[in-house]
């Protein structure tokens, strides 16, 4: 999936499922939208469904440094690339 497609899907998830209103790509999700660790776990589950495969424990641990939507997009692109090899 291309970055623009990923961005559209992630923004839709954040707006529909987490009730974000007009999130910016560089907003700090925790500080500006109240995104917490429970939300992060739920989002990872939605990312797995979107990608069509389960993330490894190590891949999930790498997600803990995510702070912005751009971080999410970078993370997904790296995951996709590693699974295409």
What are the pLDDT digits (tens) for 12-57?
999 999 999 999 999 999 999 999 999 999 999 999 999 999 999 9
Neighbours of 66 (CB within 10 A): 19
pLDDT at 78: 94
Q: What fold does the segment set 3-84 form as a domain?
A: 1.10.1200
Judge whether residue 1 has pLDDT over 90: no
Q: What pLDDT, on the 0 to 100 scale, is given for residue 28?
A: 96
The CA distances from residue 43 to 14, 36, 39, in Å, are 8, 10, 6
């Amino acid at each position: 999936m291309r970055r623009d497609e990923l961005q559209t899907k992630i923004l839709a998830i954040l707006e529909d499922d987490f009730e974000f209103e007009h999130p910016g790509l560089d907003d700090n999700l925790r500080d500006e939208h109240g995104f917490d660790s429970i939300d992060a776990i739920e989002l990872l589950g939605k990312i797995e469904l979107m990608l069509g495969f389960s993330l490894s424990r190590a891949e999930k641990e790498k997600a803990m440094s995510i702070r912005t939507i751009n971080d999410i997009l970078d993370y997904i692109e790296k995951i996709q690339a590693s699974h295409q090899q």
